[in-house]
Amino acid sequence: MSQRKLRLGAFIMATGHHIAAWRHPGGQIDAGTNIDHYIALAQTAERGLFDQVFVADTPGLRFEGSDEAFSRQGRVSYFEPVTLWAALSAVTKHIGFVATASTTYEDPFLLARKFASLDHISKGRAAWNVVTTSAENVYGNFGQDKHPEPEVRYEKAQEFVDVVKGLWDSFEDDAFARDPASGVYFDPAKLHPLNHVGKHLKVAGPLNLERSPQGYPVIVQAGSSEPGKELAAATAEAIFTAWTSLAEAQAFYSDVKGRLAKYGRRPEQLLVLPGISPVVGRTQAEAEAKWAELQKLIHPSVGLNTLEPFWPGEDLSKWDLDAPPPYIPQPPLGRNSRAHVVLELARRDKLTVRQLYEYLAGARGHWVVVGTPEHIADQMQSWFENGAADGFNVMPPVLPESLDDFVDLVIPELQRRGLFRTAYEGTTLRENLGLERPANQFSVQARKAA
């Protein structure tokens, strides 16, 4: 019997997901601009038979807070994702590459072209994580005074994805004869300009690049907002998401899978991949010691900076770190539920200021699992077998160390349980993920018309 297998991505943000990872001896201190570091990470992920590597991205430098806290941030200087993945594709053979790019601030023709190039260059291992971009300090880089409203961003995103797919289909798969004897290179009847004129975009085409090995790159989406889920249901083939409990993850899983039918899609055409940040030890105690060591590296000014939004107008630097906050404000109306969770923790559990910022800064809303390989595999298996996940986006707290740990210790445990592959199944990312190669829309139209 062909057992359903976990899909695994390695979310390899520079020196790791923990806010203080760059200070850790297991981290790479200049990770964001160290190509050898990234080559090693991609090769480790490939050794671990991961489906793909992934980086999030924002076209701008974002920070809110004091220069004192800012100066201690490790994530201020890092490669642009598509150039990074193109380089890594030349020194790997199997791993897929998920690059984040914005439908609000990039150009559809240039985006279609660079992702199609990446799919050709990697021989079918490219994926695009479609984001609409909401971080501050971005719009000014593109001459704007503010972001478009979320509903406008998502409406444009849908049109943008359709345009890009149309450009990717400019040449039909069988357009190229390349016959030196007759001198015929290709069939112009199988080249299709797009001539798109829509609400947000006007793009003529065709793309000056033939269809790529995967037909087109795998489409990924990462938002969990209402319009984000709808965009994913309409167009995405994988969705990254963040939950810290099985129940929430199950609810999200059935929610998005349930939205597919109205777009004529089947549940297996969208893979749901929650994030998991694993802290692996050979014993539970070793794992907990590793986590405690990391948490201790959070500088107080960095920690307090993460608390500031919940105590607006307050100078937190005067507080005693090892006492509870002097007062707990009412969560502001209209804020996200995160403020409620944080302030409720402070109130109910009487956490000290340090405990509170360690909770916030260390996990940053993600699912941190601290324990032995068996414990981590148990957790993953439970989500995988109980309608919460088709696989995971693994977020190593410290890179390269935590990815090595995961590959050396957790992957073999998942394989022993029959939950994960022991060899790559295919040559393209789609083949490994079990996703179909999409038909060319113009070929489909031609067949229908015939």
Three-state DSSP string of 40-52: HHHHHHHHCCCCE
Least distance in angstroms from the C-beta of 111 to a copy of itself: 10
Of the candidate residues 64, 93, 136, 140, the single one contacting a copy of itself (CB under 8 A):
140
How far are the Cα atoms of 45, 274, 282 from residue 406, in angstroms, in the given order? 9, 16, 11
Residue closer to a copy of itself, measured from CB, 49 or 99: 99
Q: Does 424 bind a copy of itself (CB under 8 A)?
A: no
- Using CB under 8 A, which residues numbered 18 to 77 contact a copy of itself? 20, 22-25, 29-30, 33, 35, 39, 58-61, 67, 70-74, 76-77
419 Cβ neighbours under 8 A, 6+ residues apart: 3, 5, 6, 377, 380, 381, 384
Q: Does 78 bind a copy of itself (CB under 8 A)?
A: yes
**Paired tokens of 343:** 């302030």
Q: Does 437 bind a copy of itself (CB under 8 A)?
A: no
Residue closer to a copy of itself, measured from CB, 57 or 230: 57
**Paired tokens of 391:** 């696989």
Range in contact with a copy of itself (rule: CB under 8 A) among 183-191, 218-226, 311-319, 386-394: 183-191
Least distance in angstroms from the C-beta of 328 to a copy of itself: 28
Phi and psi at 441, nearest 5°, equal: -60, -30
Least distance in angstroms from the C-beta of 300 to a copy of itself: 9
Binding track, positions 141-180, relative to a copy of itself; x by CB under 8 A: xxx--------------------------xx----x-x-x
- Using CB under 8 A, which residues numbered 247 to 306 contact a copy of itself? 297, 299, 302
Shortest CA distance to 222 belongs to which of 78, 56, 434?
A: 56
Gap between the Cα atoms of 134 and 149, Å rounded: 9
Least distance in angstroms from the C-beta of 292 to a copy of itself: 17
Residue closer to a copy of itself, measured from CB, 59 or 391: 59
- Quickly list DSSP for 78-139: ---HHHHHHHHHTT-SS-EEEEEEETTTS-HHHHHHHHHHHHHHTTS-EEEEEE----SSSG
Gap between the Cα atoms of 200 and 202, Å rounded: 7
Least distance in angstroms from the C-beta of 15 to a copy of itself: 10
Least distance in angstroms from the C-beta of 197 to a copy of itself: 9
Q: 391 near 9, Cβ under 8 Å?
A: yes
Residue closer to a copy of itself, measured from CB, 142 or 340: 142
- Using CB under 8 A, which residues numbered 300 to 339 contact a copy of itself? 302
Gap between the Cα atoms of 280 and 268, Å rounded: 30
Least distance in angstroms from the C-beta of 296 to a copy of itself: 11
Q: Does 79 bind a copy of itself (CB under 8 A)?
A: yes
Residue closer to a copy of itself, measured from CB, 303 or 371: 303
**Paired tokens of 179:** 């016959």
Of the candidate residues 8, 49, 88, 316, the single one contacting a copy of itself (CB under 8 A):
88
Instruction: Please report which residue ranges of 122-245 form alpha helices under DSSP H.
Output: 150-168, 226-235
Helix (H) or strand (E) holding 241: strand 238-241
Count residues contacting a copy of itself (CB under 8 A)?
78
- Using CB under 8 A, which residues numbered 117 to 136 contact a copy of itself? 117-118, 120-121, 123
Residue closer to a copy of itself, measured from CB, 159 or 230: 159
**381: helix, strand or coil:** helix
Q: Does 183 bind a copy of itself (CB under 8 A)?
A: yes
Residue closer to a copy of itself, measured from CB, 233 or 304: 304
CA atoms within 13 A on the CB side of 146: 4
**239: helix, strand or coil:** strand
- Using CB under 8 A, which residues numbered 202 to 241 contact a copy of itself? 202-210
